[in-house]
Chain A
Amino acid sequence: GNSVTQMEGPVTLSEEAFLTINCTYTATGYPSLFWYVQYPGEGLQLLLKATKADDKGSNKGFEATYRKETTSFHLEKGSVQVSDSAVYFCALSPETSYDKVIFGPGTSLSVIP
């Protein structure tokens, strides 16, 4: 079946450090891939997405590239800020619309000044 594996947290970084959160997936066909972010006390919101192989999603300085050969969608940011402190979820939407979206377990990021 479909699944998403995400690096375990929590991750603590100093401001302006480089961020990588690893995400790999298992799926049949050609799923769409997403990163969601959850700020404290809030619901989830879409951060970026990629719908086909080699697509790069980007938003707010974050980037992730859909790598079909390695079944990965790693999240990166060159210089994190305190305001980036949140929980990040990698997710997969299967090719067929009637299959449920699969989430990774989430990675908690804390950025300290």
Chain B
Amino acid sequence: SQTIHQWPATLVQPVGSPLSLECTVEGTSNPNLYWYRQAAGRGLQLLFYSVGIGQISSEVPQNLSASRPQDRQFILSSKKLLLSDSGFYLCSAHAGTGELFFGEGSRLTVL
């Protein structure tokens, strides 16, 4: 079965600092990968999705970016964080059966 590793689990960053969240997938090859953000008490907002190495689709204009340097690695980055970037970030992978597997999430607080 698929396993999603996501880190760091929690981080507190000042406004204007850079960000790097990493996600790796085990148990499958060539998955579709997703980054979601969940603001407090809100639903899921799709940020990026990728169907292969180097292929990134952005859903929402923002100061975040994503990269997929390897088949099972997905990275979310920012050069300068904003207060509005605070939230719970979830990485997920799309299995052959159509369902998504999720990591445990990364909680980001921007001060």
Contacts and interface: CB of A to CB of B under 8 A. Distances in A.
Interface in A69-102: 89, 91, 93, 97-98, 100-101
Contact of A91 (B32, B96, B100, B101): B100
**Chain A interface secondary structure, helix, strand, loop or mixed?**
strand
Interface size, B (range): 20 to 34
B99 A100 contact: no
Contacts, number: 62
A45 B103 CA distance: 9
A100 B34 contact: yes
Nearest to A43: B102
Interface string B33-77: 010000001111010010100000100000000000000000000
Interface of B: 6, 32, 34, 41-44, 46, 49, 51, 57, 90, 92, 94, 96-105
